[in-house]
Amino acid sequence: MVRDSDATRARILDAAEAEFAAYGIAGARVDRIAENAPANKALIYKHFGSKDELFDTVFAQRVLAFVDKVDFDATDLPAYAGRGFDLYEANPTTLRLTTWYQLERPHGQLEAIKASNAAKLNAIKEAQDAGLLTSAYTPLELLTEVRALMMSWHLHTPELAMVRQPARARRREVVVESVRRLVQGDSH
């Protein structure tokens, strides 16, 4: 095998993403990552230091790439939710990674994520000030509910995941329509 440090790094990252998505941080096995890369176990430590640092590297790289991929439009949150839905559908491992992160890194504070959130909250505020978006909710409230609806189909317990799901197009429609109803003008 030809020697290529970068390629080995990339293979390790790919294998690590799959491993961490499947088993989480505590459940992941460095041996299995090495075996699936394939790469020697010692190289993982040479390149990434430790299992935890490897997770952090994988998470930062993949999730941030993910976040960047869906562009945020505060004046059309239903469409944003639809795009987010599409991305989750195409890339379910990223959502799992995020969930593990939430559970196992409860104090994680990635600057890039904070920046992304701040930008979204700010965009919502501006859209509200311009009258292009309901002011029935604060920016944080809106972001919270939209995010929940966006991933709603992935929040099923295993039991509910087993019942026959609607086709993807319909699931998408449900998400988009739900957000539409959420943000529509006051309705009392």
Site of interaction with its own copies (CB under 8 A): 23-27, 96, 98-110, 113-114, 117, 121, 136-138, 140-141, 143-145, 147-149, 151-153, 155-163, 165-166, 170, 174, 177-178, 181-182, 184, 187
Cβ distance to DNA smaller for residue 26 or 160 = 26
Residue 168, binding choice from its own copies, DNA, none, Cβ under 5 to 8 Å by partner class? none
Minimal distance, residue 34 CB to its own copies, in Å: 18
Angle between helices 41-48 and 5-27 (to 10 degrees): 90
Q: Kindly state the DSSP code that residue 137 receives in the 8-state scheme.
A: S
Question: What DSSP letter does each residue of 39-90 carry, written as one string?
Answer: --HHHHHHHHSSHHHHHHHHHHHHHHHHHHHSPP-GGGHHHHHHHHHHHHHH
Q: Which of 129, 106, 110 is nearest to 118 (CA)?
A: 110
Minimal distance, residue 36 CB to DNA, in Å: 13
Residue 13, binding choice from its own copies, DNA, none, Cβ under 5 to 8 Å by partner class? none
Neighbours of 65 (CB within 10 A): 11
**Binding-site ranges for DNA (CB under 7 A):** 1-5, 7-8, 28-31, 39-43, 45-46, 50-52
